[in-house]
Amino acid sequence: METRIQSKAFQELSQAAETLVNPAIQDWKGQGSKVVGYFCSAMPEEVITAAGLLPFRMRATGSTGTDLSDTYFSSINCSFPRHCFNIALQGGFDFLDGVVCMNSCDNVRRIYDNWKRQLPTTLVHIMSLPRKTGEPQVEWFRDEVANLKQLLEKHFDIEITDERLWYAIKLHNETRRLQRKLYDLRKADNPPITGTEALAVTVAGTAMPKERYNQLLRELLNELSESPGNADYRARLLLMGGILDDPAYVKVIESQGGLVVTDSLCFGSRMLWNDIDEGASDPIAALAQYYVADRPSCPRMFGDYERRIGLVRDMIRDFKVDGVILERLAFCDHWGFEQFTIENDLKDDNVPCLIMDREYIMSGVGQLRTRVQAFLETMGR
C-alpha cells in the first residue's frame, strides 16, 4: 500500500493485512508451533495464546470466487462465510490446527456445520455466545470459555494454567492499550495516520503473535509521534458496519478527500476500547465479563442499541466527526436494521450519514467513489 509512513514496522503490518498467511505465521508454523483459527471478535483469543498456540482471526483475503462453496451456501447468503468456506475447500486453511466458530449470525454459524462435514480439520468447535449482555449471560459464557480451555487442553495435550491465562490477558490488554494510543493520535486536527493505514494495523494484530505485534506497534507509535500529520482533508469521517478487513475499501473512500478518523468495526475499534479486568480473581470469569458485557457490542446483541448509539455519539464528539458512513454486507439482517435505526438518530443529531451496501470482496469501485464523492459534496465539503 502506498503510504507516507516510512517505518519497516508499518510495512510488516501492512503486509500482514494484505495477505492471508504472512511471514510471521509461516515462521510460527516453521518452528513446529500451532495455529487455531477463530471467527468473531467476541472470541476469547487469550485462551488460545495461553495455550501456547497462535490465534488467527479468519478472513478470506484474496479470495477470487465462491465456486466451491456455492454447493453449500446460497446466493442469498452473506459473501463473508461464502468466501471463507471457499478458501477452506481449496485448502487455503490447511495450515490451521483447529478452528473455533461462533454462533455470531445465521450466515456464519453454518460454517461450523459445513466445515465439520466437508473438511478433515481435527478440531472444529462452536461456542455459544449469548445474545444479551447481562450477568446471567456472562455466567453462561464463563462456562463456555472454561469448556473451550478444557477442549484445547485435551486436544493439544497441554495444560493451561491460571498463570498462563493472566499472562495472555496482560499481553492482549497491552495490545489494546497501544492500539488506543494509535486512535488517540487520530483525534488531532492533523492525524498522522489515515483510516486505510489504521485498519491495516488493527487487522494485522489478528494475524500474528501478540508479542511481535506489540513490538511493531511501539515502533510505529514512535514514528507517528514525530510525524507532522496531515490536515489536508475535506471532512472527518466515522466508518461503521459489518465485517470489514480490507484496507483497500477504506482507500477508495479516502480517495475522495475525506479522512476516516475513527470507526465502529469489529476489525477496528470495537476490539480495543476496553480492557479485561486484571484485578479479577478468576481469569476465565474476567474473560467472560469482557467479551459479553464490557466491550462494545455489535447489532447481534439484543437490547443493547442505546449503548451502541452512545458509543457512536461519544466518538463523533471526541474525534470531531463530520459525517458517518454506514456500510453493510449484503444480506446482513443485523446491520440492515441497524442502518435503518442509526440513520434516524443521526439525522436528529444533524450528523450527515451515508448508507451503503457492499460485498466482502470489493467490487464496483466506480460506484463506491461516486457515492462517497456525492456524500462529501452534500455535506458541503
Partner 1 sequence: MVDKGLERTIAERDHFEFLLKFLEESPYETSHLLIPLVKANLDHYKDTVRYIEEGKPIIASYFSNAPEIFTAMDIHWYCPVSAAFAGAGANPYLMNDLEGADKLAVSSDICTLLRMAMYYTEAGLLPRPTAIVGMIIPCDGIVALHEASRRSKEWRGIPMFAPDPPYFTDERSIDYFAQELRRMVDFLTEHTGQKLDIGRLREVVEVTNEQYQLWQEINELRRAVPCPFNWGVGGGPFALTQNRWVGDPRGLEWFKAALADSEKLVKAGKGWLENERIRLLWFDVHPTWFFDLAPWLEEEWKAIIVMDMFSYCPYTLVDTSSEETMFHDLAKRNLMDTTMIRQAVGVADNFASDLVRIVKDYKIDCVVWPAHMGHKDGAASVGIMREICRDLGVPFLSIGIDTFDPRYTTPDEVKNTMSQFFTAMGLG
Partner 2 sequence: MLVGGCDVGSATGKAVVMKDGEIISYVIIPSTTKPEVTARTVMDEAIEKAGLSSIDDLDYIVGTGYGRLKVPFANENISEITCHARGAHWLSPTVRTVVDIGGQDCKVMSIDEKGKVLEFVMNDRCAAGTGRFFEAMARVLDCGLEGLSSLSLQGKNPSTITSQCSVFAESEVVTLINEGMELVDIVAGLHNSIAGRLNSMVRKVGLVEDLALTGGCAKNDGLAKALEEKLGVAVKKLPQDPQIAGAIGAALIAEEKLNGQS
Closer residue to partner 1 in complex, CB, 104/194: 104
Single out the segment in contact with partner 1 by CB under 8 A; choices: 11-19, 276-284, 295-303, 315-323.
295-303
23 binds, among partner 2, partner 1, none (CB under 5 to 8 A by kind): none
Closer residue to partner 1 in complex, CB, 27/143: 143
Of residues 74, 58, 69, 79, the one with CA closest to residue 119? 69
Residue 135 CA to residue 312 CA, distance in Å, equals 24
Closer residue to partner 1 in complex, CB, 233/331: 331
To partner 2, the closest distance from the beta carbon of 373 in angstroms equals 4
| Size of the residue set binding partner 1 (CB under 8 A) | 52
By CB under 8 A, residue 364 contacts partner 1 = no
| Size of the residue set binding partner 2 (CB under 8 A) | 10
By CB under 8 A, residue 120 contacts partner 1 = no
Q: Contact 42/291 with Cβ under 8 angstroms? A: yes
Q: Supply 78's cell numbers.
A: 452473506
Q: What angle do CA 104, 313, 217 make, to 5 degrees?
A: 65
Residues 95-114 that bind partner 1 (CB under 8 A): 103, 105-107, 109-110, 112-114
Instruction: Phi first, then psi: give them for residue 54, nearest 5 degrees.
Output: -100, 120
Residues 27-86 that bind partner 1 (CB under 8 A): 71-74, 76-78, 81
Q: Contact 361/332 with Cβ under 8 angstroms? A: no
By CB under 8 A, residue 366 contacts partner 2 = yes
Q: Contact 334/243 with Cβ under 8 angstroms? A: no
Selected binder of partner 2 within 4, 344, 364, 365 (CB under 8 A): 364
Q: Supply 300's cell numbers.
A: 447481534
Question: Which three-class secondary structure state does DSSP give residue 244?
Answer: coil
To partner 1, the closest distance from the beta carbon of 299 in angstroms equals 6
To partner 2, the closest distance from the beta carbon of 125 in angstroms equals 38
To partner 2, the closest distance from the beta carbon of 367 in angstroms equals 5
Selected binder of partner 1 within 79, 264, 269, 339 (CB under 8 A): 339
Residue 339 CA to residue 326 CA, distance in Å, equals 7
By CB under 8 A, residue 371 contacts partner 2 = yes
45-48-52-57 Cα dihedral, nearest 10 degrees: -60
Q: Contact 321/262 with Cβ under 8 angstroms? A: yes
Residue 67 CA to residue 74 CA, distance in Å, equals 11
Q: Where are the alpha helices (DSSP H) in the chain?
A: 8-18, 23-30, 46-50, 79-90, 106-118, 135-156, 162-185, 195-204, 210-226, 247-254, 283-288, 305-318, 333-348, 365-378
Selected binder of partner 1 within 52, 92, 229, 336 (CB under 8 A): 336
By CB under 8 A, residue 378 contacts partner 2 = yes
26 binds, among partner 1, partner 2, none (CB under 5 to 8 A by kind): none
In angstroms, the Cα distances linking 127 to 63, 112, 148, 151 are 26, 10, 8, 11
302 binds, among partner 1, partner 2, none (CB under 5 to 8 A by kind): partner 1
Closer residue to partner 1 in complex, CB, 178/326: 326
Binding residues for partner 2 (CB under 8 A)? 364, 366-367, 370-371, 373-374, 377-378, 380
Binding residues for partner 1 (CB under 8 A)? 71-74, 76-78, 81, 103, 105-107, 109-110, 112-114, 117, 126-132, 136-137, 140, 143, 299-300, 302-306, 328, 330-331, 333-334, 336-341, 343-345, 355, 357
